[in-house]
Structure 1
């Protein structure tokens, strides 16, 4: 029972130690005692060593020596003398060596190329060759090479070794095939022709360029031919009735026959080689404002809205009538493959007539998106199903159509009346001639429809445009009674030798059509 009493007394002693960490004052006391004990032991060891080593000094002197003290008694400072402050080095506390005489290139060479002879003996021949080549290129050759060279050629690599990263840049001429040069488009016309009394009528088509390089121009009741090769001008015809006028002209694709539409509703066929009228075809009740050839079929659109097909080989030339428009037909174009006819009129309609149903009065597609008369029509030369159309003053849009499915691919607002459209034969570009209010020619990059350039010079609206046989020159006819030739499309250099360039004569001389 005695041990039970001890435990009870231990629990009742609240002020005693509970077995936890010691208090702070207790830890400080133990640390101080431990430090004194260590100091006493060190002093005792020093006294013993000094007593055993020498008997000349006193115990106090030995104690001072063991504690690092001075043997001299400190004295008073001498009056009038000041203690000297140690001088500082010019560079401060750090020692900065002079590196002017250090050869870093030699040091780098030794650092890279210094190889222990014992290591070389242990290396394989391929490893030694690799070391030699790396040493030569990193130190022997690279010191004499430059990253940028402007006057000298690139140094040749050692035999059997090719280092493509030795010279990063050099002044070498880029191959011509890598240059993407921007072609130059003159901003002034190559030639200006005077066209007096050309009619200022949006719905007519008064110029056309043949494959034999003859330009037909209708002035009032006359038709003139301008030879673009020689510059000669001749009068082809003049209407007998002075009140009549020429409303449209169109060359056959072969280039030796010219179709002429008149204000009286007749269509005349002329042989230009013999300057002879072959026949006169009637049938329209009003003026004929548009013509288009498809082999031996000549299509004509009149002011009544009807389209007539004429077989020029037969005595009974009238073979079909299309009645899909209610107002004057001002735009008429057969596709390059001769399978589809596009017609635009003053009723704001664009109709698509396949050749298979050319005798029907119902077109395959009738587009109503244009808000003004549709005169400007152009078929894409590399994509027969793509048609471009332009609207008049109230519309001002160029629209692109897929005639296979009857959908509108794209539409661009030109901010100006669209009078004519032409596709380039050399580039994927489209040319548009405009009237109110800017009177300019715009070249578009297709299909992005970005403006390549604008050609200015006409002082009135551009009514008609056509392209030269080689596709390099555009001629524009405007209400300011001038014809202007623009060198818009450069000929492919590989085809320059094959195509005979028309001689346009002087660039500054203004020539009159009549």
Structure 2
């Protein structure tokens, strides 16, 4: 195992409070982050130490809990917040193009690979869908309650749903017919991630484990025991070779998908609230903090992995 070299970690400063989410756009040219300071920032990777080279998006009236880029249009971004709004942004002009009020606070969202639908997860752990092209909320989904995360497959015709009962339910989309249930963990499944090659599904759980499932036969092929606390974040590298995970133990682990060997332990002094691999480079973005107590400010960090 190699300890992450601090010289390979670049820090992005500019947010005034905790950072909850990071996400790369489809072509990897921009990194977005959302914060408790109610703003979204778009970062210029070449000028990380100077926040004048980041763009700030304002419009939410609450903490920004998650951002997601349109997979089909690299300039369009969606965000959800504690203000009970789902917002869409045109990042070319830095303005919101649409605000969708919702009945509950939205904690997470996922964008269908085809670009036409966004799923949100609300504070009461229910899932709702919004048709981007038709500009309307779809009828309430007939999914079970206690939903923690949703992800589509690459074709957008299957929906994977992580539940608080330790299962992953697989639905056809848009029919939302449950066709299979993976009994993945002994406690809540918090996060799902499909690898870019289409071979595997990664599942992070409250039992401190990450399980890896074959998408061919829906069997568990291996389990990663790298943490001492619940795993809330999982992300695959651009080639599917590595899987990164972050938990409540202030650890960010990068392991080889096939051998399970830890290849890097990324230095972090706080619990990462979000992690995301760059779509074409061996760069892992994650959230962090600088300072102590009420004076602490959220930052975004970029680990540049050495070969």
Task: Give the match for residue 390 of structure 1.
Answer: 204
- The reply on whether 1:209 has 2:44 as its aligned counterpart is no
> Is contact 2:59-2:96 (8 Å) kept?
no
8 A Cα contact 1:473 1:489, kept in partner: no
Match of 1:471 in 2: 281
Q: For residue 411 of structure 1, report the CA deviation from its aligned partner.
A: 2.1
Matches within 5 A, 1:38-437: 186-188=4-6, 189-194=8-13, 195-198=15-18, 206-210=21-25, 211-220=27-36, 221-231=38-48, 232-239=53-60, 241=61, 244-253=62-71, 254-282=73-101, 284-294=102-112, 295=114, 296-315=116-135, 317-327=136-146, 329-355=147-173, 358-360=174-176, 363-382=178-197, 384-392=198-206, 395-416=207-228, 417-426=230-239, 428-436=241-249
Shift of 1:460: 1.7
* Separation in 2, partners of 1:451, 1:285: 43
Alignment deviations for residues 245-290 of structure 1 (CA, whole Å, 9 cap, x no partner):
22211111221111011213321111111122211223x4321122
| CA distance, structure 1, for counterparts of residue 242 and residue 279 of structure 2 | 17
Q: Label 1:389 to 1:266 Cα distance change in 2 as closer, same or farther (>3 A).
A: same
- Pick aligned residue for 1:446 from 249, 254, 257: 257
1:440 CA displacement? 1.9
C-alpha separation in 2, matches of 1:475 and 1:191: 9
Distance 1:403 1:285, change over 3 A: farther
| 1:322 positional shift | 2.8
Equivalent pair of 1:445/1:452 in contact (CA under 8 Å): yes
Q: RMSD between aligned alpha carbons? A: 2.6
Contact 2:4 2:264 in 1 (8 A): no
1:324–1:403 CA distance, 2 compared to 1 (3 A)? farther
Local SS of the residue matching 1:459:
coil
Question: Given that residues 385 and 403 in structure 1 are in contact (C-alpha distance below 8 angstroms), is that contact kept between their aligned partners in structure 2?
Answer: yes
In 2, are the aligned partners of 1:422 and 1:432 still within 8 Å (CA)? Answer: yes
More helix by share: 1
Larger radius of gyration: 1
Contact 1:190 1:487 in 2 (8 A): yes
Q: Aligned residue for 2:294?
A: none
Unaligned 5+ segments in structure 1 are 1-181, 200-204, 491-514
Native 8 Å contact 1:421 1:433 kept in 2: yes
State the TM-score, normalized to the length of structure 1: 0.52
Q: What is the alpha-carbon distance in structure 2 between the residues aligned to residue 386 and residue 427 of structure 1?
A: 9
TM-score w.r.t. structure 2 length?
0.83
Q: Tell me by how many angstroms 1:309 deviates.
A: 2.1
Structure 2 segments unaligned to the other structure (5+ residues): 291-297
SS of alignment partner, residue 322 of structure 1: coil
